[in-house]
Amino acid sequence: MLSIVWIILLSSTLCHGLDNGLAKTPPMGWLSWERFRCNTDCINDPDNCISEQLFQTMTDIVVADGYASVGYEYINVDDCWLEKHRSHDGKLVADRKRFPNGIKALSDYIHSRGLKFGIYEDYGNYTCAGYPGIIGYEEKDALQFAEWNVDYVKLDGCYALPFDMDRGYSTFGRLLNITGKSMVYSCSWPVYQIYAGIQPNYSAIQTHCNLWRNYDDIQDSWASVENIIDYYGNNQDLIAPNAGPGHWNDPDMLIIGNFGLSYEQAKTQFAIWSILAAPLLMSVDLRTIRPQFKHILQNRKIIAVDQDPLGIQGRRIYKHKGIEIWSRPIGPLYQNFYSYAIAFVNRRTDGTPSDISVTLKELGLINYSGYRVEDLYENVDYGVLYPNTKIKVKVNPSGVVMLKGEVQFPVDL
């Protein structure tokens, strides 16, 4: 009888998308994967293995050290949390040694601290690390996530057929929806199809997913960040129009504070991710992060750009000899004039800062009442500047200068 009711409920939603009312701005939080990977050795490395202790610790730090107060709200478990086999009745089971109190207890712990709980699974026979996937158990797993009070589901795509993903990912999104528990739905649908030479149907993807990956996993290196920046710039005409409130492109995690980025490069990643209206999912050991990197991650003004409610993804508007300019329309608006966030990026590595000079008009800021211009990293207010005003910025190698131009209203208004 329950199966019949489930089929009726699913059939009644076939003409609808996800429509869960979530992720109206890009999700923000902490995610284990890039920093802690699939470390399951809790005997020799108890402080860094994938375990309930690790996630409870990060939860406490997110609250105590000010991350939650600037918007980071999700604590997301990634791969390697499972036992290698399901229970006798087909349910997912957390590793009994590393999660001795079970997933519901971890979920309750995170919620008790005022945060939200995210979990990982895979649309395949196995997860990428070889743990049980959802194929054949879609209904059961959706209900189990709801019972665990999960707020965010990341569904990977290992050990799955890319040409099945249009149907499979959309179906699982509906199954999550009809549980009655609202869950942000993060898909890996496009990236696996791109790898297989299939052109993703972004119209369907943005209908069924709150966010999605469309390029390689980020690694702990500047080269990896640069590759992602290039991909989003080179393919922006295809990618950018699909982003908006409730549905976002996901260039992958923030690696700020780990081992692979300098201070300047970390500033660049944070700036470009905010221009891209990207999810801000930290993957760093918050116990040992250095103050300068913590300061980047908690920059309220740049977070406000990322979280701008208009939800327009920015674009690269200039690229020449290692110098790039990225621009994003944001609020407030006056008539048909936007405010803008502008990132000047120096991709050169020749050891000396580069000067970039440009008028506001050349950047597309053409409101004759002007724009109040502010440096979002240096907290310098340049006052009201006008379209013909030339601005000059000095950008460090592999670094960024990020400005905000807030549109001004005519004085007689």
Q: What is the tens place of the pLDDT at every residue in 298-319?
A: 999 999 999 999 999 999 999 9
Cβ within 8 Å of residue 225, ≥6 positions away: 218, 255, 261, 265, 268, 269
Res. 5: pLDDT tops 80: no
Confidence class for position 17, pLDDT limits 50, 70, 90: low
Whether pTM exceeds 0.75: yes
Tell me if 214 sits within 8 A of 190, measured CB to CB. yes
Residue 389: Cβ within 10 Å count: 15
Q: What is the mean pLDDT of residues 167-174?
A: 97
Distance separating alpha carbons of residues 330 and 327, to the nearest angstrom: 10
> What's the pLDDT at 19?
78
Q: Specify whether 164 is catalytic.
A: no
Residue 38: Cβ within 10 Å count: 18
Q: Is 224 left (phi over 0), alpha (psi -120 to 50) or beta?
A: alpha
Active site residue: 217, 230, 285, 375, which one? 217
Q: What is the tens place of the pLDDT at every residue in 36-82?
A: 999 999 999 999 999 999 999 999 999 999 999 999 999 999 999 99
> What's the pLDDT at 412?
66
Res. 15: pLDDT tops 70: no
Res. 173: pLDDT tops 60: yes
Confidence class for position 9, pLDDT limits 50, 70, 90: very low
Q: What is the tens place of the pLDDT at every residue in 225-257?
A: 999 999 999 999 999 999 999 999 999 999 999
- Shortest CA distance to 55 belongs to which of 102, 123, 121, 122? 102
> What's the pLDDT at 103?
98
Find the distance separating the first CA and the last CA of the chain, reported in whole Å.
65
Displacement of CA 306 from its chain's centroid (Å): 10
Q: What is the tens place of the pLDDT at every residue in 174-212?
A: 999 999 999 999 999 999 999 999 999 999 999 999 999
Q: In whole numbers, what is the pLDDT of the chain averaged over residues? A: 95
Res. 139: pLDDT tops 90: yes
Active site residue: 79, 122, 141, 156, which one? 156
248: tokens are 């976002």
Cβ within 8 Å of residue 256, ≥6 positions away: 266, 269, 270, 282, 284, 293, 296, 297
Write the DSSP string, 286-315. Answer: TTT--HHHHHHHT-HHHHHHHT-TT----E
Tell me if 279 sits within 8 A of 248, measured CB to CB. yes
> What's the pLDDT at 413?
52
Q: Give the phi and the psi of residue 72 in degrees, each rounded to 5.
A: -75, 120
Res. 16: pLDDT tops 70: no
Q: Specify whether 217 is catalytic.
A: yes
Distance separating alpha carbons of residues 133 and 127, to the nearest angstrom: 5
> What's the pLDDT at 8?
33
